[in-house]
Amino acid sequence: MASLISGTEVSKDIQAKLKQDVIELQNNLHNFRPGLRIVQVGGREDSNVYIRMKIKAATEIGIDAQHVKFPRTISETELLMELKEMNDDPTVHGIIVQMPLDCEYDIDSHKVTDAVSPEKDVDGLHTINEGRTAIGDLKGFLPCTPFGCIELIKRSGVQISGAKAVVLGRSKIVGTPASELLKWENATVTVCHSRTKNLEDEVRSADILVVGIGRPEMVRGSWVKPGAVVIDCGINVIPDSTKKTGKRLVGDVCFDEVKSVASHITPVPGGVGPMTVAMLMKNTVISAQRAAAKLLQRQWSLKPLHINPVVPVPNDITIARSQHPKDIAILADEIGLVGNEVSLYGNKKAKVSLKVKDRLKDRKDGKYVVVAGITPTPLGEGKSTTLVGLVQALCAHKNRNTIACLRQPSQGPTFGIKGGAAGGGYSQVIPMEDFNLHMTGDIHAVTAANNLLAAQLDTRMFHEATQSDQALYDRLVPRIKGQRTFSKIQLRRLVRLGINKVDPDSLTKEELGKFARLDINPETIMWSRVVDINDRYLREITVGQSPTEKGLTRTTGFTISVASEIMAVLALSKDLSDMKDRLSKMVVAFDKAGSPVTADDLGVTGAMMVLLKDAIEPTLMQTLEGTPVMVHAGPFANIAHGCSSIVADDIALKLVGEQGFVCTEAGFGSDIGMEKFFNIKCRASGKTPNAAVIVCTIRALKMHGGGPPVTAGAPLKKEYTEENLELLEKGIPNLLKHIENGQKFGVPVVVAINLHSNDTEREHALVKKAALEFGAFDAITCTHWGQGGAGAALLADAVIKACEQNTKFDFLYQTQATINDKLMTIAKNMYGAGSIDLTPKAKAAVKFFQDKGFDNLPICMSKTSGSLTGDPAIKGAPKGFNLLVQDIYLSAGAGFLVAMCGEISKMPGLPTRPCIYDIDLNTETGEIEGLF
């Protein structure tokens, strides 16, 4: 008499083990739970029975199993789209499509099963998983019923290796994969089917017999070799008058006959059936374990791109085009991004969803490094290039998870005097054309949102000037089909006004007028239109000159798009909710009673959010060596706070993990971008930096030592092309001041000397000696421009060691200090000033903002980048000078007060010979030329 192989008992053992596996997963990852989606089309009751069984088993194990039911009217296209969403959802680890599909329309079931991602195909029915099984690659998902059959045979104690196995049936779901699995267990396998000759003899030769032919009780006792192991995969309903239901379940094997011949046999029911469910659960847990392993994985599986530096170094665009970038989807996968966290813009750049932060919220942040510079020459000292070289060195050469976070370039400088801003030489972001031009349209979105608010501001003033309170109210809250209601944004305004009513018809005449009329004082308007090009003729304009505006003209002007407060809001927002709150609080003007008028008062917040909903997502690109770069936001450093976004840094810090590095830029010198990075950005983000890198050049230090002017487009004077230690030594105090600036915040400072071809070893030695004696953590000569990451390897080593130090980071001032105290603290500590003076206009602004309750905000100093002072002509590191503050204005949404120190144009102009003369499109190749 054969021993029963109880699938029910074995499945219980498997499910108990899986339950422990899920508990272990949750111990390692808080709130992590395996996710299974069971997709059903229609509502066949036989399918519902199986689905309930699967959900019950999953729930007992700890799997989040959800029954996703679609109507019989769903089309194939719609179903495939739904499956894609599940594929992209990182909380879903397993997807099964319950067959048959009960649909009114023809749906290709094979196309449907192949639409499930192979990584989530826990049924094991995807062509890729089937193919893997066929060639012996068992790392994919094995089909559940055959998988269960093998487990049952193993549990019987029978040796599979060397045994003669016969599989009766060749279906895609059971027979064919069962034969493959037996083969890879080293059995000698014969596959039989209804047309096999001498079928009984073939079956009788089997030491192991697996039956899945789909015919009730087809295999008789006389067909079975004495002592064989029989696995019955069949399930059939036959009439039985002895049963209350008049029917019973039987397998493809005549159990009563075969049990007296075989050594082991599976019953029906209670044999293979429970094992199918158990192995489905096992596959789901395996998928979840793989997903969890990725979350816990410390080291990326990133494959760098090789570069072959040549001498002399070609121009930037030639170098960029010599490299073939990775497909951005591959890079995204390498750094741990999944599914719907990545939106592809072609194959070289992609938007990264803020969902990453939620998925990785329990992962510890990586090391946080800010890169700034000394006071630069008009040529720039290679800060962005150094940052890119550093991350190439850390990631491609030191095997550390590392992401560079850079600002998006404005088209103003790109077409003006600077040209491209993707780094340079063998340390740049590629494709550099995409990086410098449009990219994913974020600046255009900022421009549109800014100008929408400007249009609404002027329009509202026009309508208030030409209508009565009642007419305004009736148009603002129109009656539609006899009913009128307040919109959400209007309800918020009512709350701010202290009017606790929701029925538009219940307002008093006074409340109605208070709600409808903003009563803006035109003299206080702080909001201007923007455009992302340098256009000096838009600095001051008159609007409203058309006869249709009834003489309601006013003087205003344009600023460059990256100077918009919306750009600062984008850079400082933590998420969509935070951005919405900041946008709503933007003060565009004050009313005639002196109260602030906000974007929310104008009703524009929601519309701006719609324009900006994609712009809040950073763009993933890559360096020349195939390491990741997050590009996001672009506030000017001498006008705004000059840092890339909090969102990009936050996502990057989670992706690199505890042992990784995020290197983010701060515009211009430490006195401008880095000071604002610490006092504004880190205050808003709550992040603590681990180190600062200060980039310098021998050329800039000589200029600060009294060298002749450095002019873009003009040849360098001999003082810069020949060794001159005396001039260099006189200029070193500028570097020391920038080192000191970093030290004042309690972070280690690493000096990166960006090598130029005219430099000498003695010049570098002099700078290193001075920097180290002054307290810099290290000072390194870097050759990344000509050698890529390899040329910044020593800088990477220094940064790694610096980030191992215990920092004592602190802000330079507390926001509760008075506006004057904060101005003086920055001027004295960052610039070396001895005193500050405020013009009458600035003094009036200080009193006004104090009276209005805006005095507890950080200060964003708008100052020349060409000098530590407010005068761009003064070089070096002067002490005790007086800093003049000419005006102060409010950026309430961004969350700071802007202090204007000197003439800082918010709308640059084009030079006599802008870069546009060199930029062209080759109409034969489609390539952009002259963008360096």
pLDDT of residue 496: 95
Rounded Cα distance between 884 and 316, Å, is 40
pLDDT at 137 over 80: yes
pLDDT of residue 565: 96
The whole-number average pLDDT for the span 145-169 is 94
The whole-number average pLDDT for the span 779-791 is 97
- The SS3 of residue 439 is coil
Percent of all residues in the chain with a pLDDT value above 70, rounded to a whole number:
99
**151, exposed or middle or buried, with CB in 10 Å at 0-12, 13-18, 19+?**
buried
| Res. 416 pLDDT band, cuts 50 70 90 | confident
Catalytic residues, by residue number, are 54, 98, 123
The whole-number average pLDDT for the span 700-718 is 91
| Res. 419 pLDDT band, cuts 50 70 90 | low
Percent of all residues in the chain with a pLDDT value above 90, rounded to a whole number:
86
pLDDT at 420 over 70: no
Q: Which amino acid is at 849?
A: F
pLDDT at 804 over 90: yes
| DSSP, residue by residue, 292-361 | HHHHH--S----PPP----SS---HHHHHHHS-PPPHHHHHHHTT--GGGEEEETTTEEEE-THHHHHTT
pLDDT at 166 over 70: yes
The whole-number average pLDDT for the span 701-706 is 96
pLDDT 10s digits, 89-112: 999 999 999 999 999 999 999 999
| Res. 739 pLDDT band, cuts 50 70 90 | very high
Q: Which residue has the tokens 């998928």?
A: 287
Q: pLDDT averaged over the chain?
A: 94
Higher pLDDT, 433 or 464: 464
pLDDT 10s digits, 531-563: 998 889 999 999 999 999 999 999 999 999 999
pLDDT of residue 310: 95
pLDDT 10s digits, 480-519: 988 999 999 999 999 999 999 999 999 999 999 999 999 9
pLDDT at 650 over 90: yes
Q: Which residue has the tokens 């070609």?
A: 314
Highest-confidence segment of 289-298, 330-339, 634-643? 330-339
Phi then psi for residue 485, to 5 deg, are -135, 155
| Res. 422 pLDDT band, cuts 50 70 90 | confident
Q: What number of other Cβ atoms are within 10 A of residue 711's Cβ?
A: 12
pLDDT of residue 927: 82
The whole-number average pLDDT for the span 245-251 is 88
8, 213, 221, 453, 697 from 253: Cα distances, Å: 18, 10, 9, 77, 85
pLDDT of residue 186: 97
pLDDT 10s digits, 854-874: 999 999 999 999 999 999 999
pLDDT at 413 over 80: no
| Res. 916 pLDDT band, cuts 50 70 90 | confident
Rounded Cα distance between 848 and 842, Å, is 10
| Res. 712 pLDDT band, cuts 50 70 90 | confident
Q: Which residues contact 848 (CB under 8 A, 6 or more apart)?
A: none
Q: Which residues contact 373 (CB under 8 A, 6 or more apart)?
A: 381, 383, 668, 669, 670, 694, 695, 696, 738
pLDDT at 648 over 90: yes
pLDDT of residue 261: 95
Q: Residue 830's Cα: distance from chain center in Å?
A: 33
pLDDT of residue 417: 66
Please tell me the pTM assigned to this model: 0.90
pLDDT at 877 over 80: yes
Rounded Cα distance between 661 and 654, Å, is 10
| Res. 297 pLDDT band, cuts 50 70 90 | confident
Q: Which residue has the tokens 């330079």?
A: 812
Number of helices (H), then strands (E), in the chain: 34, 36
| Res. 156 pLDDT band, cuts 50 70 90 | confident
